[in-house]
């Protein structure tokens, strides 16, 4: 049986690994974008796409395999915290 210390260590390693992967992806995305003449909103769309933001923050995105109109994206879902800022 795994001890609490062992389980916490594994969870910490997993969290650090995930954070490093996100940082690396963001850095690579920034480097890949440097020097282009694309409008700023195109860069935002790219970061949202590679970051998987729509997976959780767009209702029905996964069920529709991404075929959600852009105006309906990132408007929240029934899951999450709701407040004056919207749904996260």
10 vs 1: which has the higher pLDDT? 10
Tallying the residues shown for the chain, one arrives at 88
Give the closest residue to 58 by CA, choosing from 75, 45, 83, 82. Answer: 75
Q: Is the pLDDT of residue 2 over 60?
A: no
User: In terms of pTM, does the model score above 0.75?
Assistant: no
Strand (E) or helix (H) holding 83: strand 82-83
The whole-angstrom separation of Cα 80 and Cα 74 is 13
Q: Give residue-wise pLDDT tens across range 22-81.
A: 888 877 766 665 666 778 788 888 888 888 888 888 888 888 888 988 888 888 777 666
Q: Report residue 53 as tokens.
A: 């933001």
Choose between 7 and 78: higher pLDDT: 7
Query: In this predicted structure, what is the pLDDT of residue 33?
Result: 58
For the cut 70, the answer to whether the pLDDT of residue 12 exceeds it is yes
What is the per-residue pLDDT for 32? 61
- Would you list the DSSP string of 5-54? HHHHHHHHHHHHHHHHHHHHHHHHHHHHHTT----HHHHHHHHHHHHTHH
């Amino acid at each position: 049986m795994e001890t609490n210390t062992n389980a916490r260590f594994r969870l910490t390693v997993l969290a650090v690994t995930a954070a490093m992967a996100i940082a690396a992806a963001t850095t690579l995305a920034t480097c890949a974008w440097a020097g282009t003449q694309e409008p700023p909103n195109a860069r935002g769309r790219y970061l949202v796409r590679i970051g998987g933001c729509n997976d959780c923050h767009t209702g029905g995105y996964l069920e529709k395999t991404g075929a959600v109109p852009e105006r309906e994206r990132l408007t929240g879902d029934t899951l999450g915290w709701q407040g004056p800022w919207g749904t996260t």
